[in-house]
């Protein structure tokens, strides 16, 4: 089975499991897990932030960040198709009691003019706009990369208006590998920035949040409150250390595979896809004149050996990752072509 549903399905490699088995551990709630401490120091250095915090998931990283930056009743500007609005169970309204102002972007990317228009004037009637959240790369935008200049425009604007800034960098390293811009460059204007270890980096669990020392101290308290403080978490952190040391440059293979898949899909008469828009490891494509429902097609693809996700009516998403080879991509191209010709 060629599993292209998500880069979250990756299995820890034998070498990663070995690193996990050998990791020195301690009680991280007491700050005594040397492997967690090492991972947090590595992340802080990579992001050029004062400190970092290891958390169980990307959702928790986003939700802790929203909580640390806001008061109940505040308004948070997010992109309409962002992970925070679509895939986090409504947690911002539940856990932080904020309301989300959704601004539709171009493949997930916002412009400074759009954000400026969404910031509420200071008036007793209005909620206070206090936080702007961006996403890098943009998942629902098809793995689109926020260009650095665009980010700088947005962070500059937000700072002018006194907003705090959070970057959901679940796939931050896909952006750095695609553009050659360092993670720390992207991180510069943000008060908090997080990235996932459990996607293309291939670790089983975990995300990191980078910020100032005092904010990380607050986030550490909130992590406890949210139930995300772990004990001998060095077992998991070791996988993260391994991922940061070994699995970043190889993301280029995933990007090459995604581009190649898009070119194969483009040759299928009933598929619409724009390979130029495939910037990282996500391919979004449309099946025109399908003759079968989206669910039926997913089922047919699966029967033939390819797992995909749908992201809308007749819209499909393929995500490449470290458990998918160039050969698998050739094979997947053939399988999808055969299923759609049938």
Binding residue for ligand PLP (CB under 6 A) from 130, 139, 176, 280?
A: 139
Is there binding between residue 91 and ligand PLP (CB under 6 A)? no
| CB 296 to ligand PLP: min, Å | 27
State the Cα–Cα distance between residues 148 and 240, nearest whole angstrom.
26
Closer CB to ligand PLP, 198 or 247, in the complex: 198
Binding residue for ligand PLP (CB under 6 A) from 19, 66, 170, 322?
A: 170
Number of residues this chain uses to bind ligand PLP (CB under 6 A): 12
| CB 166 to ligand PLP: min, Å | 11
State the Cα–Cα distance between residues 25 and 232, nearest whole angstrom.
5
Q: Yes or no: say if 307 and 8 are a contact pair by the CB < 8 Å rule.
A: no
State the Cα–Cα distance between residues 257 and 325, nearest whole angstrom.
8
Binding residue for ligand PLP (CB under 6 A) from 83, 220, 223, 321?
A: 83
Binding residue for ligand PLP (CB under 6 A) from 58, 108, 228, 234?
A: 58
Binding residue for ligand PLP (CB under 6 A) from 3, 28, 79, 135?
A: 135
Burial of 249: CB neighbours in 10 Å, binned 0-12, 13-18, 19+:
exposed
Helix, strand, coil fractions of the chain, as percent rounded to 5: 45, 20, 35
Is there binding between residue 251 and ligand PLP (CB under 6 A)? no
Only one of the segments 71-79, 196-204, 245-253, 274-282 lies at the binding site for ligand PLP (rule: CB under 6 A); that segment is 196-204
Strand partners, 167: 134, 193
Q: Yes or no: say if 265 and 333 are a contact pair by the CB < 8 Å rule.
A: yes
Two structure tokens written together for 194:
């997080």
Binding track over 225-244 against ligand PLP, x by CB under 6 A: --------------------
Two structure tokens written together for 311:
């992201």
Closer CB to ligand PLP, 57 or 128, in the complex: 57
State the Cα–Cα distance between residues 35 and 38, nearest whole angstrom.
5
Is there binding between residue 59 and ligand PLP (CB under 6 A)? yes
Binding track over 7-46 against ligand PLP, x by CB under 6 A: ----------------------------------------
Is there binding between residue 168 and ligand PLP (CB under 6 A)? yes
State the Cα–Cα distance between residues 141 and 139, nearest whole angstrom.
5
State the Cα–Cα distance between residues 36 and 238, nearest whole angstrom.
8
Is there binding between residue 189 and ligand PLP (CB under 6 A)? no
CA dihedral over 40, 46, 50, 56, signed as positive or negative: negative
| CB 19 to ligand PLP: min, Å | 21
| CB 280 to ligand PLP: min, Å | 11
Q: Yes or no: say if 140 and 170 are a contact pair by the CB < 8 Å rule.
A: no
Nearest to 103 by CA among 133, 68, 147, 124: 133
| Chain residues in the site for ligand PLP (CB under 6 A) | 57-59, 62, 83, 135, 139, 168, 170, 196, 198-199
């Amino acid at each position: 089975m060629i599993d292209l549903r998500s880069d979250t399905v990756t299995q820890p490699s034998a070498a990663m499991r070995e690193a996990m088995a050998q990791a020195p551990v301690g009680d991280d709630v007491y700050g005594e897990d040397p492997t967690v401490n090492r991972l947090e120091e590595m992340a802080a250095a990579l992001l050029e932030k004062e400190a970092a915090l290891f958390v169980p998931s990307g959702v928790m990283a986003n939700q802790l960040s929203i909580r640390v930056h806001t008061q109940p009743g505040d308004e948070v500007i997010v992109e309409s198709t962002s992970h925070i609005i679509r895939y986090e169970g409504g947690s911002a309204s539940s856990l932080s009691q904020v309301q989300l102002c959704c601004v539709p972007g171009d493949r997930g990317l916002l412009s400074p003019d759009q954000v400026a228009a969404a910031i509420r004037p200071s008036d007793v009637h209005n909620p206070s706009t206090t936080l702007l959240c961006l996403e890098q790369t943009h998942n629902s935008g098809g793995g689109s990369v926020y260009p650095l200049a665009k980010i700088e425009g947005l962070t500059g604007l937000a700072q002018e208006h006194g907003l705090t800034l959070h970057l959901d960098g679940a796939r931050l390293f896909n952006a750095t590998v695609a553009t050659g811009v360092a993670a720390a460059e992207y991180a510069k204007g943000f008060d908090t920035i997080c990235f996932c270890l459990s996607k293309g980096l291939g670790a089983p669990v975990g995300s990191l949040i980078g910020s100032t020392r005092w904010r990380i101290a607050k986030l550490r308290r909130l992590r406890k409150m949210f139930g995300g403080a772990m004990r001998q978490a060095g077992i998991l952190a070791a996988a993260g250390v391994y991922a940061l040391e070994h699995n970043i440059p190889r993301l280029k293979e995933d990007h090459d595979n995604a581009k190649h898949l898009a070119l194969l899909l483009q040759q299928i008469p009933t598929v619409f896809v724009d390979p130029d828009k495939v910037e990282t490891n996500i391919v979004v494509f449309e099946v025109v004149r399908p003759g079968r429902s989206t669910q039926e097609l997913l089922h047919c693809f699966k029967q033939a050996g390819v797992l995909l996700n749908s992201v809308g009516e007749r819209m499909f998403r393929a995500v490449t990752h470290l458990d998918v080879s160039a050969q698998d991509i050739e094979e997947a191209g053939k399988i999808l072509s055969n299923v759609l010709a049938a």
